[in-house]
């Protein structure tokens, strides 16, 4: 906006506040000003003075960029500040008096009585121009604002003339209060802060709003420090040591400059009658200016939550109030955006999933640099994303999902083959079709499926189990789930049909799946929402049931939230509300869609998934989940993707652990024994335990319901002999746990309205980003993937 000022001080002769001069005197002074301006114009060879008058931009014409702030769900804790300029506009009548008085004492002590122009200064400038004297710098507050309004830079005589004419017009058009308000919301204060409110927050962590608690309001002494900086907001880049400015944190010389200027302003406050001599004597220079934040201009976008901001902005660009707006419309619009992300849940997510931190689980902490984790947590019944970790750099790659950037391009690397964690959707489709989880399947170690092209003569070969279970070769569906038997689940997918499995995944929350078109080396994103499942299924094979095709961590977490909410799908989203001043621009609309699971189907689903050992929590909560592993290339011993997904009645989450370069997961000790239960599993369990503890919810209100198993005389709990044996994929034996009978509450009718999902599918595009994604490959294995 404006260049730093290096002038000689306030304009005009300091004088106390006085009543406006009589009209006759005003007319005489206006004549004097007119002559002064005319002299300046003539001296500059600028005879077309009318041009300046006709082209004056008035304050109502200005569209000042105003920073937008994204908050955590509490609406008080900032997540990030956006915008090309850090500015928060506060109406003049909502400001307390501290800054209003200090700025007049600092910059223009005749402000309330002058006509907007320092006519003596203009005459001096005209005379200097005619005689070749030194250029003049000081000007009134109105002239300074005129300089900003017209974007006039540099001390030139043509600028000085135009500035004077604009100031004259401003003074004739607007009240003094309006002009002072324009000025205080516009002028730079250094450290990237424009306007008094941004400066108060940047330097003191306070506000100028008079309706704020007294302890949070900017004091007179603090306002004087800020107003001192207007003289030179930043250090002179050509001589930063000699002219460091007035920011006391820039060094001893700058601090002394600030103190000297502060004393000058204090004297002006007394002179103008704003302070009594005794009050001024009692004032102390405040040593509470915040240290300079060298990363302050990044405004939180470099943190993991920077990825949340990307999703927030992407979501807003698809919404009605912001659709088809310019790229920087939201960033520079001065909005208050309250996200869905709960600071407590986010802290737990970062502590567990950022495997470079000392807070991460021991099993994944300190592993090779190419290891990468991602975690997304969703609130059942509302779809609010409570926690999101897609990487430690908010400006880097997103391994948890994808979003649209400001140019409309898809960004992110959040899709990964889910392996056996995808079997939750097969299981849900089965119980929706009234198939009991106690129905038995022939489950040998290897089995051919001619209908799906998986025979000994085929290139991919027959389907093989990655684990063994004591129930083999005749296993109940629940036993095959716990042991993650691929043969059983491939057969189940054939029985149901790939369309039914994809339909259930889509209804639950999986909006996208990545197919492998023939002849295309890169997976292609297929939008599932709003599409016929029969048509979509043509792009996938039966292997969809055992997790061959990539999905995002975010979608998987939303699917788990649907099951946690009793089969009621809510739209995963990142924005709770958007407001500007007192106007609410956008508010989340909570909806639920029934995916077709009745109470018994949900009970059997929960009953089965809670028997997966890796899903057991040590904090007394009912929990359910599923592990998943997908191998690297054609290897049968090395894995590339590991998963753990699951839920309690109050929180659902999905965790992926893989590599950034497409190489297999190899521990720091050289071992390739990394599975869902030993890789992603510890991250999931730590997060779920810490997050539920932080939320301080009562687990007894979220108990699972015990299934009735109609027309089934078999015992409802598995026997010891039916437990699967210990395997490499899941080294801990599965044990049965009691099944409480209490029912968890569903979505509060006051907060949620049952409705169809809103919004159509996103365009079929393949998200991209700056880092190289994992190498593409054929995902049809020579054997079935490891599943635990």
Segment among 184-198, 503-517, 559-573, 614-628 with least mean pLDDT:
184-198
Quote the pLDDT of residue 248: 96
For the cut 90, the answer to whether the pLDDT of residue 697 exceeds it is yes
Query: What mean pLDDT comes out for the span 49-68?
Result: 60
Q: What's phi and psi for 769, nearest 5 deg?
A: -170, -175
Considering the chain, what is the average pLDDT of its residues? Answer: 83
Under the banding of pLDDT at 50, 70 and 90, the label for residue 31 is: low
| CA dist., res. 666 & res. 362, Å (int) | 15
Please state, in angstroms and rounded to a whole number, the distance separating the CA atoms of residues 716 and 704: 14
Phi, psi of 439 (to 5 degrees): -65, 140
The predicted structure's pLDDT at residue 288: 95
Residue carrying structure tokens 């699967």: 724
- Spell out the alpha helix ranges (H) of 3-118: 23-43, 49-54, 97-107
pLDDT at 7 over 80: no
Residue 556 C-alpha from the chain's centroid: 19
Q: According to the model, what pLDDT value does residue 738 have?
A: 35
Residue 494: its H or E element: helix 486-496
The pLDDT of residue 547 is above 50: yes
How confident is residue 59, by pLDDT bands cut at 50, 70 and 90?
A: low
Determine the Cα–Cα distance for residues 648 and 625; give it in Å rounded to an integer: 9
pLDDT at 157: 52
Among 45-59, 299-313, 633-647, 744-758, the minimum mean pLDDT is found in 744-758
pLDDT for the residue numbered 525 = 96
DSSP labels, 353-371:
H-TTSTTS-TTTTT--TTE
pLDDT by residue (tens digit) across 89-137?
Answer: 899 999 999 999 999 999 999 999 988 887 666 666 555 555 555 444 4
Q: Give the highest mean pLDDT range of 662-676, 748-762, 770-784.
A: 662-676
Sign of CA dihedral 176, 181, 186, 191: positive
pLDDT at 771 over 80: no
The two structure tokens encoding residue 592: 């639920």
Kindly state the percentage of the chain with pLDDT values over 90.
66
270: left (phi over 0), alpha (psi -120 to 50) or beta: alpha
**Average pLDDT of span 423-446:** 97
Q: Look at 121 and 718; give whichever has higher pLDDT.
A: 121
The pLDDT value given to residue 646 = 98
How far apart CA 542 and CA 452 sit, in angstroms, is 6
**Residue 783 phi, psi (nearest 5):** -140, 170
Pairing state between β 753-754 and 591-594: parallel
DSSP code string of 445-478: SEE-BGGGTBSTTSSS-SEE-SS--TTTTEEEHH
pLDDT the model gives residue 124? 64
Residue 754: alpha-carbon gap to chain centroid: 27
Element (H, E) at 339: strand 336-339
- Prediction pTM value: 0.76
Longest dimension (CA), the chain: 111
Q: Tokens 């009692």 belong to which residue?
A: 282
Please, which pLDDT band fits residue 36 given cuts at 50, 70 and 90?
A: low
Mean pLDDT of 32-40: 52
pLDDT for residue 733 is more than 70: no
pLDDT at 34: 55
Tokens 């407001």 found at: 579
From first CA to last CA, the distance across the chain in angstroms is 58
């Amino acid at each position: 906006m404006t260049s730093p000022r290096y002038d000689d001080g306030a304009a005009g002769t300091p004088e106390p506040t006085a009543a406006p001069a009589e009209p006759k005197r005003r007319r005489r002074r206006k004549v004097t000003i007119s002559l002064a301006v005319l002299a300046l114009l003539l001296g500059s060879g600028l005879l077309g003075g009318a041009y300046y008058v006709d082209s004056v931009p008035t304050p109502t014409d200005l569209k000042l960029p105003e920073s937008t702030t994204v908050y955590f769900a509490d609406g008080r804790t900032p997540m990030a500040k956006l915008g090309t300029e850090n500015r928060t506009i506060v109406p003049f009548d909502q400001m307390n008096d501290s800054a209003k008085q200090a700025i007049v004492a600092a910059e223009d002590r005749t402000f309330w009585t002058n006509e907007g122009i320092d006519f003596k200064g203009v005459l001096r400038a005209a005379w200097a121009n005619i005689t070749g004297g030194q250029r003049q710098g000081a000007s009134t507050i109105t002239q300074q604002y005129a300089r900003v309004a017209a974007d006039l830079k540099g001390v030139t005589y043509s600028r000085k003339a135009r500035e004077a004419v604009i100031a004259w017009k401003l003074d004739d058009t607007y009240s003094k209060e309006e002009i002072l308000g324009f000025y205080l919301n516009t002028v730079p204060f250094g450290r990237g802060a424009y306007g008094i409110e941004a400066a108060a927050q940047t330097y003191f962590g306070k506000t100028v709003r008079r309706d704020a608690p007294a302890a949070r309001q900017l004091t007179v002494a603090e306002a004087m420090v800020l107003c001192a900086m207007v003289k030179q907001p930043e250090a002179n880049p050509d001589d930063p040591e000699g002219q460091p400015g007035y920011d006391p944190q820039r060094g001893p010389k700058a601090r002394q400059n600030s103190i000297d200027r502060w004393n000058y302003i204090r004297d002006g406050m007394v002179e103008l009658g704003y302070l009594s001599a005794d009050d001024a004597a009692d004032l102390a220079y405040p040593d509470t200016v915040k240290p300079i934040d060298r990363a302050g201009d990044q405004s939180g976008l470099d943190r993991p939550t920077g990825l949340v901001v990307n999703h927030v902005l992407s979501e807003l660009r698809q919404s009605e109030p912001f659709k088809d707006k310019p790229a920087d419309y939201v960033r520079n619009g001065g909005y208050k955006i309250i996200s869905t992300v709960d600071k407590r849940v986010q802290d737990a997510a970062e502590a567990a999933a950022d495997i470079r931190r000392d807070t991460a689980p021991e099993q994944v902490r300190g592993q090779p640099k190419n290891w990468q984790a991602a975690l997304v947590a969703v609130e059942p019944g509302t779809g609010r994303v409570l926690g999101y970790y897609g990487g430690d750099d908010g400006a880097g790659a997103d391994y948890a999902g994808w979003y649209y950037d400001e140019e409309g391009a898809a960004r992110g690397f959040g899709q990964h083959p889910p392996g056996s964690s995808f079997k939750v959707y097969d299981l849900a489709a089965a119980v929706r079709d009234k198939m009991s989880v106690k129905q038995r399947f022939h489950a040998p170690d290897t089995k051919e499926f001619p209908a799906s092209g998986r025979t000994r003569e085929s290139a991919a070969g027959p389907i093989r189990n990655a684990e063994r279970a004591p129930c083999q070769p005749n296993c109940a569906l629940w036993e095959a789930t716990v042991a993650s038997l691929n043969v059983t689940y491939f057969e189940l997918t054939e029985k149901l049909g790939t369309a039914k499995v994809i339909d259930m995944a889509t209804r639950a929350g999986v909006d996208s799946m990545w197919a492998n078109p023939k002849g295309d080396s890169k997976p292609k994103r297929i939008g599932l929402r709003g599409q016929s499942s029969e048509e979509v299924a043509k792009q996938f094979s039966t292997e969809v049931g055992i997790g061959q095709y990539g999905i995002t961590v975010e979608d998987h977490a939303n699917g788990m939230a649907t099951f946690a909410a009793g089969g009621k799908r809510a739209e995963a989203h990142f924005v709770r509300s958007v407001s500007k001043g007192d106007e609410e621009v956008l508010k989340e609309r909570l909806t639920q869609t029934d995916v077709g699971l009745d109470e018994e189907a949900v009970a059997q689903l929960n009953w089965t998934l809670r028997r997966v050992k890796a899903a057991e929590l040590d904090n007394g909560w009912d929990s359910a989940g599923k592990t998943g592993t997908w191998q690297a290339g054609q290897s049968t011993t090395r894995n590339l993707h590991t998963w753990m997904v699951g839920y309690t009645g109050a929180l659902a989450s999905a965790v992926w652990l893989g590599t950034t370069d497409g190489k297999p997961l190899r521990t720091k000790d050289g071992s390739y024994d990394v599975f869902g239960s030993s890789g992603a599993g510890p991250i999931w369990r730590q997060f779920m335990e810490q997050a539920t503890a932080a939320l301080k919810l009562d687990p007894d209100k979220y108990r699972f319901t015990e299934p009735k198993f109609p027309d089934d005389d078999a015992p409802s709990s598995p026997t010891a002999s039916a437990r699967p044996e210990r395997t490499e994929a899941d080294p801990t034996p599965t044990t049965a746990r009691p099944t409480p009978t209490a029912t968890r509450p569903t979505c509060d009718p006051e907060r949620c309205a049952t409705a169809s999902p809103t919004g159509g599918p996103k365009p079929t595009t393949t998200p991209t980003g700056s880092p190289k994604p994992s190498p593409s490959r054929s995902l049809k294995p020579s054997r079935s993937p490891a599943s635990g």
